[in-house]
Structure 1
Amino acid sequence: MISVRDDLRALQGYHSAQVDVRIRLNTNESPEPPPTAFRDAMAAEVSNIEWNRYPDRAAVALREAIAESHSVDVAQVFVANGSNEVLQTVLLAYAGPGRTVATFEPTYQLHAQIARVTGATVVEGQRADDFTLDPNEVERVITGSQPHVVFLTSPNNPTGLVEPMERVRQILDLAPGLVVVDEAYAQFSDWSALELIDEDTPMVVTRTFSKTWSMAGARLGYLIGPSWLVAELDKVVLPYHLDAVKQIAGRLALRFASDMDDRVRQTVAERTRISSTLADLGTTVFPSGANFVLFRPDGHEGRAVWQGLVDRSVLIRDCSGWPRLANCLRVTVGTPDENSAFLDALGEVLADRSTRLQLSLQTSSETSLETSQNGADQ
């Protein structure tokens, strides 16, 4: 039997629980579909696709639309099938065997996963207990390993933390190679590293259409960086990798920026409500600049709380088995009704488990007292 590469044997694929529930808040998708006008425009343009012809290999119209939305040159834009293919393309070009990639854990799991698949060595720095990034740890990791690629996620997934500009600048000053700032959730944050992009700085910012633009089903992502770096990516990406439908969808979506801005504002408001209510329920809530909230139900087993929610037809992300995230759970911000249903269900689960614990302790205490009394009688 043919065996897989030796360095891949210990790796596992990326997994997220797929459960049939009424409310699904586990994968950080947009809770709302694209606007009706987008769907109508999409249907009209798709009907005119020349299906017997290959799509535009350079995706020029889509890249021009993205470039205009960010006020950059079209040569600074690279597009691919979701931000994960963008990351993979970057790593194929700038990492690989004999090269080192640095991450700061806990963070997005696929950064290290894809780096290892390309054959690179991964060096993992560690965040502080509150998941912030200590500048001394940044210096230790970068000066010690001299990585060819450094990943920084802002807002960070799964913690929600927004990296301050000074931390990004510190990494740029220290890193000998490429700095990749993954901004899958940047629209929900208060600042973006895009303002640091220029032709002289070896840094790229990656984005996705899956969150703000309600297009997770399309799998479309992009990168903005120096034009010389973008040109190198064309050497490793497959020809005609981005189909005609995706190119149309991305270009049309950008016409509805005001609709998306309204949704971002609602998501941020709901994120605040969720965080406040979680704190009222006695959980530890970590600050978030994304469309999700990481929390720890103190005094409760995270996996048991997750199962209690599933039993009530609510699915969130169980992070309790991940390194550094014992008993932690992550909830995506949904519609107001979905969020209320989640909070109500969580309140029931926590109250139910607290009641069970109290009864257990009471029973244990009564049993101990009875045993003690029996012993005295003897």
Structure 2
Amino acid sequence: MDTFLPLRDDLRGRSAYGAPQLDVPVRLNTNENPYGPSPALAADLAAAVALAASELNRYPDRDATALRADLAAYLGHNLTPNQIWAANGSNEILQQLLMAFGGAGRTAMGFEPSYSMHRLISLATQTDWVEGYRENDFTLDPERVVAEVSAAQPDVVFLTSPNNPTGTALDLSVIEAVYEAATGIVVVDEAYAEFARDGVPSALTLLPGRPRLVVTRTMSKAFSMAGLRVGYLAADPELVDCLLLVRLPYHLSELTQAAARVALKHAPELLNTVGTLRAERDRLVSEITALGCRVVPSDANFVLFGGLGDQTVTWQGLLDRGVLIRDVGLTGWLRVTAGTPEENDAFLAALADVLREQLLRESQT
């Protein structure tokens, strides 16, 4: 980077977020839903986009009123449209929250390893970052978390359920305890909520009577719409109104709003893939465990597995066999996205081969 450009000092030397995309037969590194839209959905999308295109000379509805109503209906929990806000992916939702409630002289707190964009967007908005403690099994101890939040009193607290990259879900009592200890807003990132196992509740149930609580979601995962870029949140109407102060005018295009509404109409069809992926995730947990690896119980569409020693060697061995998964920077651990049965078969065969090769090499030294 050109050192003569007047970049902010706090951004110098930092690296942009990204996951390497390589041209290999099996890509299981970005937590995408492997099932694309059906022909019927694609046809409806095309028709909706064609209709919207006839008025592209006009600005879109800046408040995305119809989309927010559809999202409220999808979420249920007696939510109303004025409790919903939508933006270009959940990352823009996070950015708007930090622009409104973070910034210079304020702090945000998260419990890493977790979704790295919580920290990166905090830093990009000049919000100081406080890292909380996660147990060795990647869970959160309620007493420790409450003590840390009480001591730091951050302006924004990030909780994730299920957590990325570990897949672990939070008990609602932890969220309640953090909310009571915090004086700022509490954001529960539920990007993978639709993949949670039966009986795992959503923080949406906690919204009534908690005006500082925010639950964020996305259409990228369960809805197979990563390319659409639509994220949203549910919160108190007054908190939603605060975001209008920092949103860009007309931030959601007419085409995006139209496509998202079509996808929501096809929700039952799209969510059918969730059941398939949950079963494949559980199969990955079982079979990776049988190969002798440590596996974190997952409520997401991915699995974190460890006990690998140098995880970069395993990652490269899989890549050499045409399988790309994610090295999330945790020593001895790797993360694999649940793909189609065929993709998962290829991954499991490659992993078994890599582990056998490593054991053979160790036995010869």
User: Is 1:283 paired with 2:283?
Assistant: no
Per the alignment, in what secondary structure is the counterpart of residue 31 of structure 1?
A: coil
One of 135, 156, 159 as aligned partner of 1:128: 135
Q: How does 1:302-313 map to 2 (within 5 A)?
A: 302-313=311-322
Per-residue deviation, 1:357: 1.8
Q: Which has the larger radius of gyration?
A: 1
1:369 matched to which residue of 2? none
CA distance in 2, matches of 1:278, 1:2: 48
Per-residue deviation, 1:199: 5.2
CA distance in 1, matches of 2:224, 2:213: 27
Give deviations 1:197-242, integer Å, cap 9, x for gaps: 1254310100001000000011110011000000110110100110
Q: How does 1:108-187 map to 2 (within 5 A)?
A: 108-187=115-194
One of 263, 280, 286 as aligned partner of 1:270: 280
CA distance in 2, matches of 1:308, 1:223: 40
Per the alignment, in what secondary structure is the counterpart of residue 304 of structure 2?
A: strand
User: Is 1:66 paired with 2:71?
Assistant: yes
Structure 1 segments of 4+ aligned residues over 6 angstroms from their partners: none
Gaps of 5+ in 1: 362-378
Gaps of 5+ in 2: none
CA distance in 2, matches of 1:200, 1:330: 34
2:25 matched to which residue of 1? 22
CA distance in 1, matches of 2:38, 2:124: 38
Per-residue deviation, 1:35: 2.3
Please say which of residues 136-145 and 21-30 is displaced more in the overlay.
Answer: 136-145
1:215 matched to which residue of 2? 225
Please say which of residues 90-99 and 196-205 is displaced more in the overlay.
Answer: 196-205
Per-residue deviation, 1:15: 2.1
Per-residue deviation, 1:297: 4.0
CA distance in 2, matches of 1:260, 1:268: 14
Length, aligned pairs only? 355
Per-residue deviation, 1:8: 1.6
CA distance in 2, matches of 1:308, 1:70: 42
Per-residue deviation, 1:45: 1.4
One of 3, 8, 11 as aligned partner of 1:8: 11
CA distance in 1, matches of 2:288, 2:210: 44
* TM-score (normalizing by structure 1): 0.92
Give deviations 1:158-185, integer Å, cap 9, x for gaps: 0110011111111011011100000000
Structure 2 CA distance for partners of 1:252 and 1:237, relative to 1, 3 Å: same
Amino acid across the alignment from 2:141 = D
Per the alignment, in what secondary structure is the counterpart of residue 19 of structure 2?
A: coil
CA distance in 2, matches of 1:271, 1:357: 30
Q: CA RMSD in A?
A: 1.1
Q: How does 1:200-349 map to 2 (within 5 A)?
A: 200-298=210-308, 300-319=309-328, 322=329, 325-349=330-354
